[in-house]
Amino acid sequence: MGVRLSLTDNRKEALEAAIPQIVRPIQLPGQLIHQPVEKFGALDGAANLAGVVHKTIGISGITQLTNEEWSFVTGINLTGVFYATRAQLQAMEKLGCGGSIVNAASTAGIEGLTRSAAKEVGRRGVRVNAIAPGVIDTYMVQTLPKAMNGGVDWLVQHQQALGRRAQPLEIAKLIAFLLSDESSFTTGAIYVADRRQVC
C-alpha cells in the first residue's frame, strides 16, 4: 500500500524532478488544501516546510535588517505556515478523519503555534508536531552568496557535533515518522535535528 501526495514548491523543476505526476501548486493555502482533498477524498497528513532567509543573513545584524526583509521572512516562515496549518485543520475537521501535521520550526513562533494547535485539536484525532532542523544541504543553502555560505560552513564545522550538513533524506525520514502511525502518541513535540548545534 502506497501513499498519495500533493506537493508544492516555489521551483517547478524541483517538483518535476521529485515525482512525475503531482497536483500543481496554486497560490492560496485554502485552495492548496482543497484541490488534493477534492481529488483524493481525504487529508491524512501534511508537512509545512516553508522557509527562506533574508538576503543579508550572516553579513549584517538586526540593526541593519530592513522592514521589507523582516516582512518577507516572517510572511513565509511564520504567517505562511499559519495559513497552511489553519486550512489543513479546517479540512481535517470537516472530513472528521483525524490526521497529522508537521511544521518546520524556523521561528519560535512556529513552536508556539504547533504546541497550541496540538492542545486544541488533539481530542479530534489530529496530531501537530514540528521539526527544528539545522543546516540542510538544500538548493537554498547551496545557492547562498559566497559570503553567507562561508558563515554556514563555519557554523557546521565549529558549532555542530557531527560537523556536516544534513542531507534532505535524513530530515524527510523524521517527517515521515511524525506523519505515520508510528508516532501515534506524539503531539505538540518539537524534534530538534541539528547535529547538536544547540549544545
pLDDT digits (tens, 9 = 90+) for 24-48: 333 456 777 888 888 888 899 999 9
What pLDDT, on the 0 to 100 scale, is given for residue 151?
Answer: 58
Distance of alpha carbon 29 from alpha carbon 150, whole angstroms: 35
Q: What is the pLDDT averaged over residues 135-155?
A: 64
State residue 61's pLDDT score. Answer: 78
- Mean pLDDT, the chain, rounded, equals 79
Average pLDDT over residues 140-167: 65
Contact 50, 77 (CB under 8 A): yes
* 133, 166 contact by CB (below 8 A): yes
In the chain, % of residues over pLDDT 90: 36
CB-based contacts of 126, cutoff 8 Å, min separation 6: 89, 92, 93, 98, 99, 100, 101
In the chain, what is the straight-line distance between the N-terminal and C-terminal CA atoms, in Å?
Answer: 40
In whole angstroms, how far apart are CA 124 and each of 25, 45, 175? Answer: 28, 14, 21
Rg for the chain, CA atoms, rounded:
17
pLDDT of residue 131: 93
What is the per-residue pLDDT for 85? Answer: 95
Q: What per-residue confidence (pLDDT) applies to 39?
A: 85
Look at residue 123 in the predicted model and tell me its pLDDT: 96
The structure's pTM equals 0.76
Q: Which residues of 39-52 are buried (b: 16+ CB within 10 A; e: fewer)?
A: eeeebbbbbbbbbb
Q: Is the pLDDT of residue 194 over 70?
A: no
Instruction: Please determine, looking at this structure, whether the domain spanning 12-193 carries the CATH number 3.90.1010.10.
Output: no
Q: Sheet of 190-193: strands edge to edge?
A: 45-48, 99-104, 126-133, 190-193
pLDDT band of residue 19 (cuts 50, 70, 90) is very low
Range with the poorest average pLDDT among 27-41, 97-111, 139-153: 139-153
Instruction: Provide the CA 113 distance to its chain's centre, in angstroms.
Output: 13
Q: What is the pLDDT of residue 102?
A: 98
Residue 120 has pLDDT above 70, yes or no: yes
**With contact defined as beta carbons under 8 Å apart, do 76 and 103 qualify?**
no
Cell digits of residue 49: 516546510
Q: Residue ranges per domain, the chain?
A: 12-193
Residue 154 has pLDDT above 80, yes or no: no
Convert 58-81 to b/e letters by CB count within 10 Å (16 or more is b): beeeeeeeeeebeeebbeebbebb
Higher pLDDT, 3 or 77: 77
Q: C-alpha distances in angstroms, 1 versus 38, 156, 173, 181?
A: 21, 39, 18, 14
- Which pLDDT score is estimated for 100? 98
Greater confidence, 134 or 8? 134
Residue 132: its H or E element: strand 126-133
